[in-house]
Amino acid sequence: MGLAFRFLACPYVSLAARTQRERELKARRIVRHSFAWFVRLMQRTGILQWRVRGRERLHGGAQLVCPSHPTLIDVVLTMSMIDNANCIVKADLKRSFAMSSPIATTGYIANDSGSELIEACAQSLKAGDTLIIFPEGTRTRPGKEPKLHHGAAATALLAAMPITPVVITCTPPSLMKGIPWYRIPPSKMSFEIDVLEPIDIEPFLQIERQHGRPIAVRRLTESLKSALFKNNH
């Protein structure tokens, strides 16, 4: 898919768009429709079914979306629903022949920017992007206690942006950490995706003003974890 995007989509986007911002928006739409096509294909071939509740909360404007991350295709499912989705990608992909051009065209954020990563994420939100951050960073093994990184909360505070939690579940357990992707489940994979009410950022901005950012980040991370995994307790 990366090579197809590099040799087909990138040249088209470069010719059709005059500014970097226009190129990013067109490229992200192509990604969204490609992922949506892939999901429809898996539905029609009987591999999976999915149901989304609260989809209207993914409004496509400036928004910080934080999904849980149980399976290999959570990124595909989430981005298939959002036109102007930005996300964080592994820095190694910037050096990949297949992926370097698509990443540059879409404007995705590489996670090699260290202390500047949070600032880059906040700037993405201020530019009007829907930014997707998986706060677990990687898939959590079934039965293990999820551990959330602080980056999503730090970004929300810096941008003064509410967090929209998205709970993803899959039954029977499939495509999860420790389960080979080629292991065929006994029945069709059924995904339930719940887009929850946004977490109001104002109380945490108040905590930041009173007690400092580190405490506010920890409290907001705890609130996000509670929203994403309340059924695990």
Residue 92 per-residue DSSP state: G
149 and 135 in contact (C-beta within 8 Å)? yes
Give CA 88 to chain center in angstroms. 8
Whether the pLDDT of residue 97 is over 70: the answer is: no
> Where in the chain are the domains?
47-90+107-232
For residues 233 and 231, what is the distance between their CA atoms, to the nearest angstrom? 6
The answer to whether 82 and 130 are in contact (CB under 8 A) is: yes
At residue 183, the pLDDT reads 85
Q: How confident is the model at residue 3 (pLDDT cuts 50, 70, 90)?
A: very low
pLDDT in tens, 171-199: 999 999 988 888 878 899 999 999 999 99
Strands (E), 146-214: 163-171, 189-195
Neighbouring-strand partners of residue 192: 51, 169
* pLDDT for res 11: 65
Q: How far is CA 46 from CA 43, 186, 214, in A?
A: 5, 12, 47
136-171 pLDDT, tens digit per residue, is 999 998 888 999 999 999 999 999 999 999 999 999
